[in-house]
Amino acid sequence: MSAAAPAAAPAAAPAQQQPAFRRVFGFIGGAVAKVVSTTFIVLVVALVARHVPDDKNTIAKTHSPEVVLARMLARFEAGSVIPRFEKYHVSRPDAIAMLQKVLRPARLKDYTVVIGEVGCGKTTAVHNAIRANSTGIVYHIVKSEVLVSMPGLLARSLAFEPNQFTEGYLKDRGVELDEVTSAAEPFRSWVLLSLILRDVAQQFKTKHGHPATLVIDAVDEIAQQGPALLHAIQDFAKAAADEQLLNVVLVTCDGSNLPELKASSAMTRARIAEVSDITDEQAVDFLLHRGVNEDAAKRAVAEIAGGRFVLLNSLVFELQFKTVDQIFLKFHIGTRGALRRLFGDLAQISPPVSSTFCRLCRGAQHVDDVEEALGLDLTKKLLATHINILAYHPNDTYTLHSRHVQRSSRFGVLRCVSAYVMI
């Protein structure tokens, strides 16, 4: 089992390093001592740097651990630059206010997992919440990069460039690095980054009196390629919250990866915040602003999109040359196909499964009831993002994934209206 080895390494390493950190922090003691010693080291480096030849001078200026850490600290202090939103914008004051509390908690107790369906507007809302004042906040979004390059790209967002002195710096701080350096990528890079991040987070807190915030958006991209790295990041987030060191906010679409997140014991420490869809009225308004006529807008929202941005955006485009019925039919065929692949003959769906679907058509159902009736395995399959039949909500309920799935199930696929009475 070659897969087990890298998974084991990151779990073991931080646990062993914690006592070392405590010893070091305890030994230096006190906020003032830390600031003074850091300043002193920077001064010494600067003085020494003036008396060595030019190339070494440059290396000391750009590569010394103190300079490398200072760059990451400066990145936190300046905050990430969030691009402006170009298109017509639906204002979501409640979601933004909720996220701003998550980004700047009055007291750091937990790390936060922000969830919401694909395309419900999480990234946009998080951007808006940060843009108002990004001081102390670094934002990083995971793209569909291969797993091994994830820590490197995160490091870039943090303005962290590891170099030949990084490991020596950590060893001098009393960190036992043997397990880290022998771990496979991406864990090796992640653990090195996380160790430096802890130091910088401590410096930020000492200097500003409150913890900095690190947002990692789209962590579902990590989970899709194997949960071990995500679990390592969650363990870090939990430890950082326990020690009130750094406010870590993970953003994810739920569904397929929530079971993965839950599988981590660190999940028990997470506070879950949901970004939900906008209201039907806001959605109709959005379509009107984007040039859709009122009749089509109302029907398209009621029957297909609800308040889901990703669907609304595609409707703006498709309604130019298709009717609401034609667009619905395409979604309906997709849903029916997905269910057929899962169940085989839809007429053979067992009564408990069928009645569960029908109850879901009428509204949110408690997770326990759904999982009991469908079984864990089927529930997980229906949650998967490429199937998108079920949606999880942090108030411990499931709903059908979107308005068109609801409508497909009710009238087309399962004929809930009559079937429910028959069962």
Ligand X SMILES: *[C@@H]1O[C@H](CO)[C@@H](O)[C@H](O)[C@H]1NC(C)=O
Which residues form the interface with ligand ADP (CB under 6 A)?
87, 89-90, 92, 116, 118-124, 309-310, 313
Q: Which is nearer to ligand X, 64 or 406 (CB)?
A: 406
Examine residue 289 and tell whether it contacts ligand X (CB under 6 A).
Answer: no
Partner whose binding site includes residue 119, from ligand X, Mg ion, ligand ADP, none (CB under 5 to 8 Å by kind): ligand ADP
Partner whose binding site includes residue 364, from ligand ADP, ligand X, Mg ion, none (CB under 5 to 8 Å by kind): ligand X
- The whole-angstrom separation of Cα 212 and Cα 244 is 10
Element containing residue 217 per DSSP (H, E): strand 212-217
Examine residue 100 and tell whether it contacts ligand X (CB under 6 A).
Answer: no
Task: Return the structure tokens found at 217.
Answer: 């958006």
Q: Which is nearer to Mg ion, 108 or 130 (CB)?
A: 130
Specify whether the backbone of 311 is left (phi greater than 0), alpha (psi in -120 to 50) or beta: alpha
Q: Which is nearer to ligand X, 62 or 133 (CB)?
A: 133
Report whether 76 contacts 136 (CB < 8 A): yes
Stretches 24-32, 64-72, 313-321, 395-403: which one binds ligand X (CB under 6 A)? Answer: 395-403
Three-state DSSP class for 139? strand
- Burial tier of 104 (Cβ tally within 10 Å: 0-12, 13-18, 19+): middle
Examine residue 395 and tell whether it contacts ligand X (CB under 6 A).
Answer: yes
Rg of the chain, C-alpha, whole Å: 25
Of the residues 24, 141, 267, 364, which one makes contact with ligand X according to CB under 6 A: 364
Examine residue 224 and tell whether it contacts Mg ion (CB under 5 A).
Answer: no
Of the residues 16, 62, 133, 293, which one makes contact with ligand X according to CB under 6 A: 133
Examine residue 276 and tell whether it contacts Mg ion (CB under 5 A).
Answer: no
Footprint of Mg ion on 94-123 (CB under 5 A): 122-123
CB atoms within 10 A of CB 70: 16
The edge-to-edge listing of strands for the beta sheet with 137-141 is 137-141, 212-217, 246-252, 112-115, 271-274
Q: Which is nearer to ligand ADP, 92 or 205 (CB)?
A: 92
Examine residue 393 and tell whether it contacts ligand X (CB under 6 A).
Answer: yes
Nearest to 216 by CA among 194, 196, 199, 192: 194
Examine residue 136 and tell whether it contacts ligand X (CB under 6 A).
Answer: yes
Task: Return the structure tokens found at 313.
Answer: 């955006």
Examine residue 397 and tell whether it contacts ligand X (CB under 6 A).
Answer: yes
DSSP letter (8 states) at residue 84: P
In the complex, which residues of this chain contact Mg ion (CB under 5 A)? 122-123
Residues in touch with ligand X (CB under 6 A): 104, 133, 135-136, 276, 364, 393, 395, 397, 399
